[in-house]
Amino acid sequence: MQKERIYNLLFSSIYPLYLKKVEAKARSKEELDTVIYWLTGYDEQGIQNQMERNTSFETFFAEAPQINPNASKITGLICGYRVEDIDDPLIQKIRYLDKLVDELAKGKKLEKILRT
């Protein structure tokens, strides 16, 4: 099943892909981390711990200190799906993160990405 495959993706294997994507567009690791912190409530040590433990996306989001209450303001298309219309809560959180990384890579200002 496709969902199970996505649930079991390792955050530590996807993070470098996010980083490569944003750095290719002249954005920084610090900006990427800021976006992740905003969405999940993790801090630098929390992210590092998740990567060292090779946690799946399922565990990464299950253990997130707090999903930002403004995450529901993230809208638009990602991978052909409207993020606001995704029924599965975990898939929606993963796609929120994908959408934020895309916005960062497209040069959107951090204040707009963070829905402030």
Domain ranges, ordered by start, for the chain? 2-113
Residue 95 buriedness (CB in 10 A; 0-12 / 13-18 / 19+): buried
**How many helices (H) and strands (E) in the chain?**
7, 2
pLDDT of residue 1: 45
> 39, 80 in Cβ contact below 8 A?
no
Residues 6 or more apart in contact with residue 93 via CB below 8 angstroms? 39, 61, 67, 71
Q: Per residue in 102-111, pLDDT tens?
A: 999 999 999 9
Q: How far is CA 105 from CA 30, 40, 56, 88, 97, in A?
A: 13, 19, 24, 25, 12
pLDDT at site 83: 94
pLDDT greater at residue 11 or residue 78: 11
| Residue found by looking up tokens 């930002």 in the block | 68
The CATH code for residues 2-113 is 1.10.8.290
Going from the C-alpha of 110 to that of each of 17, 32, 64, 68, the distances in angstroms are 19, 10, 21, 15
pLDDT of residue 6: 77
Average pLDDT over every residue of 90-105: 95
